[in-house]
Amino acid sequence: MNASPILITIAVLGGTGKEGKGLARRWAKAGYRILIGSRSIEKARAAALEILDSLGGNASVEGNTNIKAAYGADIVVLTVPYSAHRPTLEEVKDALQGKILVDVTVPLVPPNVAKVHMPPAGSAAQEAQAILGENVQVTSAFQNISFENLLGDDDVDCDVLVTGTSKEARAETLKLVSAAGLSGWDAGPIENSAVVEGLTSVLININKQNGTKNAGIKITGVPTSSSHT
């Protein structure tokens, strides 16, 4: 993940959280211009400075409101808790038109987050598609990667499954997976996001039973020459 000039700008909405900061840091290190979005511009700017400091200032990271970050980006990544999912999408809906939204949200319902809960739309990603309309390509990814893994620089022994509304959008998202130093797989249409999102509760349950934090998934039995990142 050596830094290199990349023209694409990524907005990470909810980027003040650990998952968002972990992804933003990895993409900033890879050379992308990063906009951290938050309801609080002060928190967004503080998170941006934290990422910059961790990279020795050798990156392009700025903090702003969710709406301004969304307008300023080519690709938008949503990393908010499920309780903020719909309100955030409704706020930035106009800014997302014609763009790709990568939805990292998992519909967890506290306190029993180890139990799978799916919204009426089928999944958080499908809910996002219904809210945003057909002019926004929605993909779903990164739900099964713990933030502890993302915040470090070590290789991550876990795969990323990418679902989405089109093969082209999934391909663009898989580029981001690779840029973050992770291995990704095209997991098919957005309807499959229900399975991927649900796996998060399964992994939480495994972590609880084994006193761990980093349970993940790996795709096996596929030749290494197969198409994935």
CB 181 within 8 A of CB 210: no
For the chain, residues with pLDDT lower than 70 are 1-6, 224-229
Give residue 151's pLDDT: 78
The CA-CA-CA angle for residues 208, 151, 25, to 5°, reads 145
Indicate the DSSP class of residue 80.
-
Using one digit for the tens of pLDDT, what is the confidence trace for 99-109? Answer: 999 999 999 88
Chain mean position to CA 5: 22
Give residue 206's pLDDT: 92
Give residue 81's pLDDT: 94
Domains and CATH numbers, the chain: 9-210 (3.40.50.720)
Q: What is the DSSP string of 148-179?
A: HHHTSSS----EEEEEES-HHHHHHHHHHHHH
Give residue 3's pLDDT: 42
Give residue 229's pLDDT: 67
Give residue 207's pLDDT: 87
Give residue 109's pLDDT: 81
State how far the alpha carbon of 77 is from the alpha carbons of 116, 148, 205, in Å.
23, 19, 26
CB 20 within 8 A of CB 76: no
Distance CA(102)–CA(125), nearest Å, equals 9
Give residue 21's identity as a one-letter amino acid code: K
CB 37 within 8 A of CB 14: yes
